[in-house]
Amino acid sequence: MNLKDKTIHFRAFVSFLTTAGFIIMALTGIVLFVVPEGRIAYWTNWSFLCLTKKDWGNIHIVSSLVFLIAGLFHLYFNWSTLKGYIIKKARGGINRAWEMAIALCITIFLVAGAILELPPLNHILKFNEFVKDSWIISEEYEPPFGHAEMLSLKVFAKKMDIDLNSALSSLESAGIEVVSVEDSLGKIAGENGISPMDLFRVIQPLALK
């Protein structure tokens, strides 16, 4: 490699970018396959390699976009070769028609099978549900209702029939600072370095009184 040659070879750059996008997209796809459901992930403040479920989802979306854009550029740079190949095959006839038909049928089956949950794909989907549900190791890992962490402390306390002043007193005694009762449980928990589930543990006994 000549270090003095600083010319950017755009074709090579696009190829590397396409490969990088594919690798990251594949890795994040594997992580998203095993992460807990959103209600559990956000309630317990789940993370993997210091990244939350939302972080992994964002990376997956961005890497997919990078792969798509880089793929389009790759197609653009190789369009003449591809067009010549298509024309040549069209003139000479498709001599791999059977293979193409099989590949097309498999693709259609995979898409339709995923939507309709047809066997054997339904086993993969059920395994996915099993892995996600395995994160629930106790009842407290389930929030009292979906996305409870998004409600303000004031609304959450009212919904759970907890006296707000008593809740504030308990949180203060536990060393949890509440800047505003209008802040969401998720925000208050994050500012105190805990999960919404941990915050709820402190005030949950008040609902029984």
| pLDDT tens string 141-191 | 999 998 999 999 999 999 999 999 999 999 999 999 999 999 999 999 999
pLDDT > 90 in the chain, percent: 73
Q: Is a pLDDT exceeding 60 seen at residue 15?
A: yes
Residues 110 and 83 grouped into a single domain? no
Residues 105 and 131 grouped into a single domain? yes
Average pLDDT over residues 67-71: 91
Domain around 50 = 1-92
Gap between the Cα atoms of 164 and 177, Å rounded: 14
Domain final residue pick, 83, 108, 138: 138
Residues 98 and 88 grouped into a single domain? no
How far apart, in Å, are the Cα atoms of 109 and each of 33, 115, 116, 117, 167? 21, 10, 10, 11, 54
Average pLDDT over residues 45-56: 95
Residues 109 and 151 grouped into a single domain? no
Gap between the Cα atoms of 78 and 73, Å rounded: 9
pLDDT band at 208 (very low <50, low <70, confident <90, very high): low
Per-chain mean pLDDT for the chain: 90
90 against 55, higher pLDDT: 55
pTM of the model: 0.82
Residues 83 and 104 grouped into a single domain? no
Average pLDDT over residues 33-54: 95
Residues 1 and 75 grouped into a single domain? yes
Q: Is a pLDDT exceeding 90 seen at residue 7?
A: no
Residues 128 and 171 grouped into a single domain? no
Cβ atoms within 10 Å, residue 188:
23
Q: What are the start-end ranges of the H helices in the chain? A: 10-34, 38-44, 53-77, 79-92, 97-116, 121-133, 153-159, 164-173, 185-191, 196-203
Residues 126 and 170 grouped into a single domain? no
Q: Is a pLDDT exceeding 60 seen at residue 60?
A: yes
Residues 65 and 106 grouped into a single domain? no
Residues 69 and 108 grouped into a single domain? no
Average pLDDT over residues 16-29: 93
CA dihedral 43, 48, 54, 57 (to 10 degrees): -140
- Per-residue pLDDT, 34: 95
Q: For the chain, what is the domain count? A: 3
- Per-residue pLDDT, 95: 66
Residues 81 and 101 grouped into a single domain? no
Domain final residue pick, 109, 138, 167: 138
Residues 164 and 119 grouped into a single domain? no
